[in-house]
């Protein structure tokens, strides 16, 4: 029971990942986790296909770069909090099936209140071939080291709306500054931000730029 509780809290990580990949916790032990697709608090409202454990996996190159960003942010008083990293193609396929079911809008008010779900792919909020499946993209935020409280970024993770974009005028100056803290550190260590989603970063020199993986997150 204790082992299960520790795994669910993200306090321990498995020690074996597929060749070329690593669990983030092996390189960044202070990172925190809220792996939304393992549970039901996400935009589709159910566990996503391929998520067998609440852990985060990246290519070694991306994880090493993330470790360097984490070290910079640690000196400023912040820890990383990871929402998603490597995402199997089967999970993306789950999103595609969900988008075609017009009757399922139970999470609309929380995650996509101003967008018709059938338009999420066309508008660029979702992709049928996701960079996450190449293993070098990560979704994350920052928490204060002293309190563990998340910084106010002006919108929540996976809030599929224009207010989640960099450069939006729909957030406060303080919220924009908080986003810039994260963006600056990630950019300093080789990650490219996503203009539509403040939490989404891809390693520029990703090792598998044309390969989409489908192994489970476990």
Q: What is the pLDDT of residues 87-108, one digit of tens each?
A: 999 999 999 999 999 999 999 9
Residues 25, 31: contact at Cβ < 8 Å? yes
CATH class of 2-203: alpha beta
Which among 67, 185, 86, 77 has a CA at the least distance from the CA of 134?
Answer: 86
What mean pLDDT do residues 3-12 have?
42
**Among the ranges given (3-7, 18-22, 130-134, 184-188), the one the predictor scored with the smallest mean pLDDT:** 3-7
Residue 133 CA to residue 50 CA, distance in Å, equals 11
pLDDT of residue 16: 77
Q: Looking at per-residue confidence, does 2 or 38 come out higher?
A: 38
DSSP 8-class letter at 149: P
What mean pLDDT do residues 41-52 have?
98
Which pLDDT tens digit goes with each residue over 155-200? 999 999 999 999 999 999 999 999 999 999 999 999 999 999 999 9
pLDDT of residue 8: 42
User: Which residues are paired to 21 by β-bridges?
Assistant: 59
Whether residue 37 is predicted with pLDDT greater than 70 in this model: the reply is yes
What mean pLDDT do residues 60-68 have?
98
**So where are the chain's domains?**
2-203
pLDDT of residue 15: 55
User: Which tokens go with 200?
Assistant: 């989404």
pLDDT of residue 214: 98
Residue 101 CA to residue 108 CA, distance in Å, equals 13
Q: Which residues are catalytic?
A: 197
Residue 38 CA to residue 50 CA, distance in Å, equals 9
């Amino acid at each position: 029971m204790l082992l299960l509780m520790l795994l669910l809290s993200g306090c321990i990580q498995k020690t074996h990942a597929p060749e070329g990949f690593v669990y983030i916790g092996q390189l960044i032990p202070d990172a925190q986790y809220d792996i939304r697709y393992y549970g039901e608090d996400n935009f589709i409202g159910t566990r996503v296909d391929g998520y067998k454990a609440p852990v985060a996996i990246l290519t070694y190159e991306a994880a090493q770069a993330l470790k360097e960003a984490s070290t910079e942010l640690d000196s400023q008083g912040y820890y990383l909090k990871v929402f998603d990293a490597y995402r199997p193609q089967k999970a993306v396929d789950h999103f595609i099936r969900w988008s075609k079911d017009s009757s399922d809008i139970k999470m609309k008010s929380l995650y996509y209140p101003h967008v018709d779900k059938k338009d999420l792919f066309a508008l660029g909020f979702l992709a049928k071939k996701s960079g996450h499946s190449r293993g070098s993209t990560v979704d994350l935020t920052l928490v204060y080291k002293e309190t563990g409280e998340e910084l106010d970024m002006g919108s929540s993770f996976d809030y599929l709306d224009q207010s989640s974009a960099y450069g939006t005028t729909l957030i406060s100056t303080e919220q924009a500054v908080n986003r810039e803290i994260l963006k600056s550190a990630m950019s300093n260590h080789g990650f490219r931000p996503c203009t539509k989603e403040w939490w989404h970063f891809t390693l520029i020199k990703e090792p598998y730029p044309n390969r989409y993986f489908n192994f489970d997150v476990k």
